[in-house]
């Protein structure tokens, strides 16, 4: 974790503090997320709104109407460059394809913070995300421990080629290598979408008479897999990733075994915090990678809080939350 704070002399900090008083309030932060279908991104947006309100700024939300649409997000970047918000908090729908868009933002000299999916290029004030590999590894280990280290397993992947999917599935597979009694039957994409995962699971059940465990790369797909299992009157242990409200409710009811906490609320909070702090000439943290937590029936209570009642972490908390 790098902190610009450590490189700043105290007189400069004091000067920045006076400058902050002069520049504070009223900034507009444009927040880019990938879709309206994955509840995780609603969590990110609420976190961003919460932090902006706390710091007396405001947000402008940019969400593709077609989930994860590259042309639509590129078009939205064209719009935001014209409108020139104070800063941007940016989640690329595709970490490679959106690099030219980030470069346009850079050329327009609009400060930008990267959250959730790390961009393959462009210049950012800060990155705020989670350790996807560890989330995949730890959630899969929990599933395999529950199954006694054996059983027939299927993986429902996110979007092929996306960084989050690559790292989560790599974690899943490394955990499977630790359990020689477990057998991977199939690994197929559900594109992070609930309905697609439901259809994938239905097809997998038709070709496999016994499925003991499902490793889903996000909660929406885990819920889709559970719906498919219920529809076929079959049982399997299912895990997801994101720690969404829907996942917490499913854990409470016993439908979902566990979810890896991706902490979208904190990502929205901290991304917006770093953008606003930079505008106010305050120190920022250049990289925050949040530690993984596996949410289960034994520890879900702290996560079972309505979004509107949650409180954003402080700047001091940010360093403690980071795995690096």
> Which residues belong to CATH 3.40.50.2300 in the chain?
28-130+263-284, 132-261
pTM of the prediction? 0.79
Percentage of the chain lying above the pLDDT 90 cut: 79
The CATH number that domain 28-130+263-284 falls under is 3.40.50.2300
Q: How many CB atoms lie within 10 A of CB 154?
A: 23
Residue 10 — pLDDT band, cuts 50, 70, 90?
very low
pLDDT tens digit string along 207-224? 999 999 999 999 999 999
Residues 144-203: tens digit of each pLDDT: 999 999 999 999 999 888 888 999 999 999 999 999 999 999 999 999 999 999 999 999
* Mean pLDDT confidence for 130-154: 96
E strands in the chain: 28-32, 58-62, 87-90, 112-115, 127-130, 150-157, 181-189, 213-216, 237-241, 258-260, 287-290, 294-295
Which CATH number is 132-261's, of 2.60.40.1260, 2.60.40.1930, 3.40.50.150, 3.40.50.2300?
3.40.50.2300
- Residue 192: which region, alpha, beta or left (left: phi > 0; alpha: psi -120 to 50)? left
Instruction: Name residue, tokens 């949040």.
Output: 290
């Amino acid at each position: 974790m790098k902190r610009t704070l450590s490189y700043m002399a105290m007189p400069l900090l004091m000067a920045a503090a006076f400058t902050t008083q002069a520049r504070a309030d009223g900034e507009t932060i444009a927040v880019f997320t990938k879709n309206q279908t994955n509840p995780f991104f609603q969590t990110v947006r609420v976190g961003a709104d919460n932090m902006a309100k706390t710091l007396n700024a405001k947000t402008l939300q940019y969400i593709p109407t077609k989930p994860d649409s590259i042309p639509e997000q590129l078009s939205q970047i064209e719009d935001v460059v014209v409108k020139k918000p104070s800063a941007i908090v940016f989640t690329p729908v595709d970490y490679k394809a959106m690099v030219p868009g980030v470069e346009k933002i850079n050329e327009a000299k609009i400060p930008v913070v990267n959250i959730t999916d790390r961009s393959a290029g462009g210049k950012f004030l800060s990155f705020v995300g989670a350790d996807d590999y560890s989330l995949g590894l730890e959630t899969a280990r929990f599933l395999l421990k529950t199954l006694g280290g054996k059983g027939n397993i299927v993986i429902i992947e996110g979007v092929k080629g996306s960084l989050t999917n690559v790292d989560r599935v790599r974690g899943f597979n490394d955990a499977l290598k630790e359990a020689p009694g477990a057998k991977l039957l199939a690994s197929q994409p559900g594109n992070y979408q609930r309905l697609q995962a439901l259809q994938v699971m239905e097809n997998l059940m038709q070709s496999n008479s016994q499925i003991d465990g499902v490793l889903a790369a996000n909660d929406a797909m885990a819920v889709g897999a559970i719906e498919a299992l219920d529809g076929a009157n079959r049982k399997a242990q299912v895990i997801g990733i994101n720690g969404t409200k829907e996942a917490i409710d499913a854990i409470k009811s016993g439908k979902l075994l566990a979810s890896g906490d991706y902490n979208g609320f904190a990502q929205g909070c901290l991304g917006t915090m770093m953008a606003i702090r930079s505008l106010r000439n305050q120190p920022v943290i250049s990289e925050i990678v949040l530690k993984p937590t596996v949410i289960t029936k034994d520890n879900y209570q702290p996560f079972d809080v309505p979004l509107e009642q949650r409180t954003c972490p402080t700047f001091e908390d940010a360093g403690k939350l980071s795995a690096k």
